[in-house]
Copies of this chain bind each other. A is one copy, B any other.
Amino acid sequence: MRRTSRDIRTANRYRVLRQAIAESPASRPRLAAATGLSLATVATLVGELIDQGMLVDAGFEDSGGGRPRGLLAVNPRGGALIGVDVAETYVHVEVVDLALSVLGHAHEELRPGDHEPAALVRRIAGAVRAAADRAAAGPVLGAGITMPGMVDREGGVSVFAANWDWHGVPLLDLLAEQVPYRLYLDNPMRACLIAELWFGAARGRDDVLVVNLGTGVGTGIALGGTMHRGVSNSAGEWGHTLLVLDGRPCHCGRRGCVESYIGAPGIMRSLREISPDSPMLAADDQTATLARLARALDEDDPVAARTLRTTAGHLGAALADLVNLLDPEIIVLTGWVARQLGGPLLEQAREAVTRHALRRPLESTEIVLSPIQVNPVSLGAATFALEGALDAVGRAGD
């Protein structure tokens, strides 16, 4: 997508609010210094955000002899944002205020019958109502929803959800009949990316990859401070790039994909190859197996250690491909597998990246674990609603 002058203004508005959320209260000169924007630009954008009720005046700071400087704070009563993480087995909803304090949440497990579109829409609407009832923070500015599979963001359509056999379900149209908020749809990978850009390790960075490690794996890509979605909104399928030509079969139909080695089922397979009868293997239960693996690592179990080394080697080799191809500023690891295996996985993966990547791009790339403590997908979904509200400010001002 081409960028226009309006895109630049919108991106600047994001930057100012992002900084105000990170450091509240703050003066205009401080916001200008932290964002690299001119004081005049910051003053204009702050004015818009005050008019919109997102920022409020918060007294003055002493400026060491000069005129006292006005301070700005995020308005906790400026509105609530709803983030909905629709996964294959649950619907998780968080309601947050503009300072990103959690106001309420709801979690519902899905049953097999819930996967029919009309039923799922009822479950989502119910969870959103339950969460919103627990919150009370002024107007709801919007609700962001993430769906597994492929989505048409503009049209609000779930294009394809493999495990549910969904094709072209107009999800937002169906939801709009039951939920009275502005709605935004995207995928969980993008949600994790936007959460890191606004509130996590990627704040203030321009060339960012957020690598999601879970049952599936993928990466959110932001270059030049802008999310790269791809021409069919399906960029980021790093899980289906090659680790080994003609290697392990992958559910995408190809062989040797990254996901078949470092997705949770891939890690289980590696464990099974190392020790076919390991008591860590909990049949088809990925969550239980990974939890046992993490526990066994704490206890210096040699099979667990070898499984980690193998997995970290695969992960590091695949991350090195991203370093060599895209030369990013930072790679953030997120997702439940990253949380479960945490520091030891990161440390050994970094070593493997060093063996595999070219020196020059490697030297300028940082690799870290996500610092976000809440569900990053719900948080990211809520952030889609926040960006939507900010875009609306821009359109009103044109």
Chain B residues with Cβ under 8 A from A358's Cβ?
234, 237, 240, 252
User: Do A230 and B245 touch (CB < 8 A)?
Assistant: no
* Chain multiplicity (copies): 2
Q: Mark A277-321, 1 if CB is under 8 A from B, else 0.
A: 000000000000000000000000000000000000010011011
Classify chain A: how many residues form its interface, as a range.
Answer: 35 or more
Instruction: Name the residue on B nearest A361 (C-beta).
Output: B234
Does A3 sit within 8 A of B, measured CB to CB? Answer: yes
Write the chain B residue with the least CB distance to A6.
B8
Interface membership of chain A positions 332-375, coded 1 if the CB is closer than 8 angstroms to chain B and 0 otherwise? 00000000000000000000000110101101110000000000
- Type the 1/0 row for A177-216, where 1 means its CB is closer than 8 Å to any CB of B: 0000000000000000000000000000011000000000
Cβ 8 A contact of A328, one of B4, B225, B230, B254: B230
**Closest Cβ of chain B: how far from A222's Cβ, in Å?**
11
On chain B, the residues within 8 Å of A67 by CB distance are: none
- Interface residue? A5 (CB, 8 A): yes
Let me know if A136 is at the binding interface, CB within 8 A.
Answer: no
Residues 1-44 of chain A, each 1 if its beta carbon lies under 8 Å from chain B, else 0: 11111001001000000000000000000000000100000000
Q: At the interface, yes or no: A275 with Cβ under 8 Å from chain B?
A: no
CA distance A365 to B2 in the complex (A): 17
Taking a contact as CB atoms under 8 Å apart, the answer to whether A230 and B2 are in contact is no
25 contacts between A and B (CB under 8 A): A2-B11, A2-B224, A2-B225, A3-B3, A150-B360, A159-B360, A207-B230, A223-B223, A223-B224, A224-B228, A230-B328, A231-B328, A231-B361, A231-B364, A231-B365, A232-B327, A232-B364, A233-B327, A235-B361, A237-B324, A238-B324, A242-B242, A244-B244, A245-B247, A245-B317
Interface residues of A (CB under 8 A from B): 1-5, 8, 11, 36, 150, 159-160, 206-207, 219, 221, 223-226, 228-238, 240-245, 247, 252, 254, 314, 317-318, 320-321, 324-329, 355-356, 358, 360-361, 363-365
